[in-house]
Amino acid sequence: MKKSNTEVKVMAMNILNKYSKQAISYYNDMLTPFIGKDIFKVDGSLKKKYDFDRFRYEGKDPEGNHISVQSWITINRGIVELTVKICINGGSHDVQPTTAFCQYENRTFDIFSIELATGYLIPATREEDRTYLDTIYNLEDLNKIAADIKQAAEQYRKELDKMPYYFKDVYYLERLTR
């Protein structure tokens, strides 16, 4: 059966959260022993003696959809960033083009810092709250939230229509619905 764009997006975000948590843990385990060392080349890649395999995953979910997870680290202004990218696809465009889908999602996380004067790896300069990665999105809940927002927007539009046009900008009122 054909999945809606919303269903595919919810599934992809749940998968991204799951594998992002795993990738963050993996890179923390791999890089923590190198704290206080200059492990990066000028181009931002790891020096050969510090290099290790990147976190990846290839497999299927319980519904039989193919999941591919890739990850890499980069250096950006003294921050070691981890990017996790997932691709989930189901069906086959050749066999059943009406039910096939493919969705890419990615997210970047600050995981360590670089001491600019020495180039040494140091713990992240600020602690990030990543509890949102524990969230498992539910399509029914999101549909309810969307319906509530549309209803509130309709009520807002009705109230906004009561304000004379010439005064809307004085009160910084704008149209929120289209």
Q: Are residue 39 and residue 94 in the same domain, yes or no? A: yes
pLDDT at 128: 85
**Do residues 111 and 128 touch, judged by C-beta distance below 8 A?**
no
Tell me the helices (H) and strands (E) count for the chain, helix number first: 3, 5
Strand order in the sheet with 101-114: 57-60, 66-76, 79-90, 101-114, 121-123
Q: Which letter does DSSP use for residue 63 in this model?
A: T
Q: Are residue 111 and residue 176 in the same domain, yes or no? A: no
Query: What is the pTM for the complete model shown?
Result: 0.85
Q: Are residue 128 and residue 99 in the same domain, yes or no? A: yes
Domain enclosing residue 147, as ranges: 138-178
Angstrom CA distances, 28 to 24, 109, 133, 160, stand at 6, 12, 16, 51
For the chain, list residues with pLDDT below 50.
Answer: none
Q: Are residue 46 and residue 107 in the same domain, yes or no? A: yes
Q: Are residue 92 and residue 163 in the same domain, yes or no? A: no
Angstrom CA distances, 137 to 16, 55, 143, 148, stand at 11, 24, 11, 17
Decide the pairing of beta strands 121-123 and 79-90: unpaired
Q: Are residue 131 and residue 144 in the same domain, yes or no? A: no
pLDDT at 121: 95
pLDDT at 98: 64
Q: Are residue 25 and residue 54 in the same domain, yes or no? A: yes
- Residue 122's closest CA among 112, 132, 107? 112
**Do residues 62 and 83 touch, judged by C-beta distance below 8 A?**
no
pLDDT at 114: 94
| DSSP conformation letters of 131-152 | GGGG----HHHHHHHHHHHHHH
Q: Which letter does DSSP use for residue 58 in this model?
A: E
| DSSP conformation letters of 80-112 | EEEEEEEEEEES-TTT-TTT-EEEEEEEEEEEE
Percent of the chain at pLDDT above 70? 93
